[in-house]
């Protein structure tokens, strides 16, 4: 099975206007668990999907996570599980939580955790964003969830969203506890930090590496830690950004689905590791079933299309494009989320069958 598919979501003609009208629609302050997405759990109730805030150690750091359990969950039963890796700058209370909750609604135990050094997890300095740490975060979620009461350790899947999609690919190359892998709006963090979005900064790679090296030297000498990626932009400045993903990203992360633990900021010295890393390296090691989903109008789509053929080790793979969706719209627009779930649910149901070899 090796195919590419495009499906139209029903009733999406008003999606753009809907996006503009929904500002401040998911206020974390109004949710007992700090969740910042529409339809989020507000309290745990018997017979429904429930959320369980947990923490565990990873590399000596405290990791903050949420586990979602299906309706009627019982610790003495056996359930498949899904690990959900969040986007760059995101936290477990945003899109990763939405998809984890939806997957729990389909009978899975799902976990999503804040990356080490980010969100509610420990680590100093704050907002270190190194690919080796983000990949280890994925392994760490598997460590925890395979020991959670009721989880069948032989039926664990992986869903990575945006930057989490790139790190999911990296983790799944070697971690065969993941029986199948899906990505949504995959973002190859190394390629973008190195080459610029849409490879728009190729001419300045060496100049930027010099700046990054100087930031590392300053840290090592005990000087101030420099940060990149964060900017307090006005609406007019946001409107002038050259890529729709970034324009809509500011709307999502700073307005409609804002959370105080979520930030675009990362230590400049992290770029020493990011700029020499690539999510698509050694993808031939992936032999598990692979589903890659992205919006047909996403300006990040080139990353998914580039990665897909680099996984020849699996014959069970599909690239699925959601017609009309942009990158950020796959995070929250109900129609597009429904289309994504309509692919994810049967994919995991088929690939996480008990006793599958």
Structural domain range at position 100: 2-351
Q: What is the pLDDT of residues 62-73, one digit of tens each?
A: 999 999 999 999
The pLDDT, as a whole number, for residue 15 is 42
In a domain, 169, yes or no: yes
Nearest to 249 by CA among 95, 123, 109: 95
Q: What is the pLDDT of residues 314-348, one digit of tens each?
A: 999 999 999 999 999 999 999 999 999 999 999 99
The pLDDT, as a whole number, for residue 142 is 99
The pLDDT, as a whole number, for residue 26 is 87
In a domain, 356, yes or no: no
The pLDDT, as a whole number, for residue 335 is 98
Which residues does residue 63 pair with via DSSP β-bridges, in sequence order? 56
Q: What is the mean pLDDT of residues 278-284?
A: 98
- Dihedral sign for Cα 9, 166, 82, 181, please: positive
In a domain, 357, yes or no: no
Q: What is the mean pLDDT of residues 78-97?
A: 98
Alpha-carbon gap, residue 328 to 322, rounded angstroms: 12
**Residue with more model confidence, 264 or 57:** 57
Q: Is the pLDDT of residue 41 over 80?
A: yes
Q: What is the mean pLDDT of residues 153-165?
A: 98
Q: Is the pLDDT of residue 21 over 50?
A: no
Q: What is the mean pLDDT of residues 196-211?
A: 97
For residue 171, what pLDDT band results from cuts at 50, 70 and 90? very high
The pLDDT, as a whole number, for residue 20 is 42
Alpha-carbon gap, residue 172 to 94, rounded angstroms: 23
Q: What is the mean pLDDT of residues 144-171?
A: 98
Residue 185: CATH number of its domain:
3.40.50.1820
Q: Is the pLDDT of residue 24 over 60?
A: no
The pLDDT, as a whole number, for residue 97 is 98
In a domain, 280, yes or no: yes
The pLDDT, as a whole number, for residue 3 is 63
Alpha-carbon gap, residue 63 to 40, rounded angstroms: 22
Q: What is the mean pLDDT of residues 146-165?
A: 98
The pLDDT, as a whole number, for residue 5 is 59
Q: What is the mean pLDDT of residues 180-188?
A: 98
Alpha-carbon gap, residue 138 to 82, rounded angstroms: 11
Flag whether the pTM goes above 0.85: yes
Share of the chain above pLDDT 70, in %: 92
In a domain, 215, yes or no: yes
In a domain, 40, yes or no: yes
Structural domain count of the chain:
1
Nearest to 342 by CA among 73, 181, 102, 74: 102
In a domain, 10, yes or no: yes
Alpha-carbon gap, residue 350 to 242, rounded angstroms: 40
The pLDDT, as a whole number, for residue 308 is 98
Whole-number mean pLDDT of the chain?
A: 93
The pLDDT, as a whole number, for residue 2 is 64
Share of the chain above pLDDT 90, in %: 88
Torsions phi, psi for 69 (to 5 deg): -115, 150
Q: Is the pLDDT of residue 280 over 70?
A: yes
Q: What is the pLDDT of residues 213-232, one digit of tens each?
A: 999 999 999 999 999 997 77
For residue 9, what pLDDT band results from cuts at 50, 70 and 90? very low
């Amino acid at each position: 099975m090796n195919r590419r598919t495009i499906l139209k979501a029903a009733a999406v003609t008003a999606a753009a206007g809907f996006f503009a009208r929904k500002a401040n629609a998911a206020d974390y302050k109004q949710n007992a668990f700090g969740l910042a997405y529409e339809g989020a759990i507000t309290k745990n109730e018997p017979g429904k999907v429930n959320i369980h805030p947990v923490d565990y150690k990873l590399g000596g750091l405290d990791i903050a996570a949420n586990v979602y359990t299906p309706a009627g969950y019982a610790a003495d039963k056996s359930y498949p599980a899904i690990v959900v890796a969040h986007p760059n700058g995101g936290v477990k209370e945003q899109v990763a939580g939405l998809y984890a909750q939806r997957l729990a609604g389909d009978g899975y135990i799902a976990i999503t955790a804040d990356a080490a050094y980010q969100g509610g997890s420990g680590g100093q300095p704050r907002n270190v964003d190194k690919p080796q740490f983000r990949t280890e975060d994925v392994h760490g979620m598997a460590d925890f969830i395979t020991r959670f009461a009721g989880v069948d350790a032989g039926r664990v899947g992986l869903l990575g969203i945006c930057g989490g999609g790139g790190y999911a690919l990296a983790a799944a190359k070697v971690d065969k506890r993941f029986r199948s892998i899906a990505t949504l709006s995959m973002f190859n963090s190394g390629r973008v930090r190195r080459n610029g979005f849409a490879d728009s900064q190729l001419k300045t790679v060496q100049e930027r590496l010099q700046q990054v090296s100087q930031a590392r030297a300053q840290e090592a000498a005990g000087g101030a830690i420099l940060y990149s990626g964060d900017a307090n932009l006005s609406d007019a400045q946001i409107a002038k950004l050259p890529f729709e993903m970034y324009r809509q990203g500011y709307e999502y992360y700073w307005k409609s689905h804002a959370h105080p633990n979520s930030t675009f900021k990362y230590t400049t010295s992290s770029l020493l590791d990011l700029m020499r890393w690539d999510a698509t390296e050694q993808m031939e090691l992936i032999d598990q079933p692979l589903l890659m989903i992205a919006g047909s109008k996403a300006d990040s789509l080139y990353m998914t299309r580039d990665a897909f053929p680099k996984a020849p080790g699996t014959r069970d793979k599909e690239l699925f494009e959601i017609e009309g969706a942009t990158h950020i719209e796959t995070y929250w627009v109900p129609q597009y989320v429904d289309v994504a779930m309509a692919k994810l649910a049967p994919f995991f149901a088929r690939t996480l069958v008990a006793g599958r070899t």
